[in-house]
Amino acid sequence: MKYLDEYRDGRLARKIVREIEHIQTRPWVIMEVCGGQTHSIVKHGIDHLLPRGIELVHGPGCPVCVTSLELIDKAHTIARRPDVIFCSFGDMLRVPGSECDLFALKSRGAQVRVVYSPLDCLKIALANPESKVVFFAVGFETTAPANAMAVWEARRRGIKNFLLLTSHVLVPPAIAAILQSPQNRVQGFLGPGHVCVIQGSREYEAISSRFRVPIVITGFEPLDILEGTLMVVRLLESGTAEVQNQYVRAVRREGNRQAQELVQKVFEVGDRKWRGVGSIPKSGYKLRWEFRDHDAERAFDVKEIDTKEPAICISGQILKGIKKPHDCPAFGTQCTPQSPLGATMVSAEGACAAYYAYGRHLVKEPA
């Protein structure tokens, strides 16, 4: 496929690795922010291809993983109602709440549907005027424009039975939280390519200069990730803290203005609780007051649910790049994708689930 296959060329990959070996003078710890990048790295074995001393640690960029258990339980309470058709992206269905997952609810008769796009929910709402159609709006900045458009269109076209259960998270506050942690090990970042397609690179320029850390906005294919890593190593070796763009074929410095404008009209920034990490100030979107009629949290009075995560789970430290899946005694034994104990095992893009999917629970990681 065009723009995919050419970025999976093994011969070029080896060239980039040789170049990194050539310029590297000391060990570096680099974090890839996005779960899509984590998945690609583990799938293609990129971390094992890199020279010794270049360590990739996995970031918090999987929105399914970091959706709080409270909100998942809230979603399940709403999905159980007979007057609700509950719509979600497919990867949210297997995420366990305190009691079960959405698949289990569906098998017990709840109306749970997987959608490809949030706009599909408007069609479902029009076809089922007697039901309330609730969409579980999970995602980072990349997904916010699509969800904003669904709400905007629902209001414009008078589709009153469409509601959004919002669980939107933002990348820059999470990066700042990682860098402010006293245990931080991360020296440079592969920035999230598709988040920056929407947001542009300015927010990352602010982080880079505030924390004196290099950030290279990077794509998702193996050659993108290798080239991004090479660019970060070059910046680290020369002591330069700035933002560079590896993903030039899709990311512009100003981002996508049209998308930013609609997101601004529909959402406002608020505090958000991240599974495994805790509450981060101003790290999420919520619906603006003008769109309250489409807000599922207002429409259904769901009480705050008290939840507890298993004490053994170290997903919080994994999401911050302090630990890796193999550091956890439960990894691959008590904790598997079939019965996950915490954030990084619940979705395919979580670090633990990716390690498990590609057989890394069967081998000892090289020290």
Chain contacts with other proteins (rule: CB under 8 A): 1-4, 6, 12, 15-16, 18-19, 22, 34-36, 61-64, 89, 91, 116-120, 138-140, 142-143, 145-146, 149, 153, 157, 192-195, 197-198, 220, 223, 227, 246, 248-252, 256, 258-259, 262, 347, 349
Closest residue by Cα to residue 137 from 152, 107, 117, 161:
117
Give the residue with the Cβ less far from other proteins, 160 or 252: 252
Q: How far is the CB of 253 from other proteins (least distance, A)?
A: 13
Give the residue with the Cβ less far from other proteins, 64 or 124: 64
Give the residue with the Cβ less far from other proteins, 29 or 119: 119
Q: How far is the CB of 359 from other proteins (least distance, A)?
A: 23
Q: How far is the CB of 9 from other proteins (least distance, A)?
A: 8
Map tokens 């599922």 to a residue: 296
DSSP notation for 33-76: EEHHHHHHHHHHTHHHHSPTTEEEEEEEE-HHHHB-HHHHHHHH
Give the residue with the Cβ less far from other proteins, 197 or 343: 197
Sheet with 132-139: list strands edge to edge: 111-114, 84-88, 132-139, 162-169, 278-287, 267-274
Map tokens 């996508």 to a residue: 256
Cα 345 from Cα 332, distance rounded (Å): 10
Q: How far is the CB of 360 from other proteins (least distance, A)?
A: 21
Q: Are 22 and 181 in contact (CB under 8 A)?
A: no
Q: How far is the CB of 366 from other proteins (least distance, A)?
A: 26
Q: How far is the CB of 39 from other proteins (least distance, A)?
A: 9
Give the residue with the Cβ less far from other proteins, 107 or 128: 128
Cα 159 from Cα 129, distance rounded (Å): 9
Kindly state the tokens that stand for 95: 């995420």
Q: Are 319 and 59 in contact (CB under 8 A)?
A: yes
Q: How far is the CB of 73 from other proteins (least distance, A)?
A: 20
Give the residue with the Cβ less far from other proteins, 63 or 284: 63
Does residue 85 sit in helix, strand or coil? Answer: strand
Closest residue by Cα to residue 95 from 350, 329, 358, 351:
350
Give the residue with the Cβ less far from other proteins, 118 or 321: 118
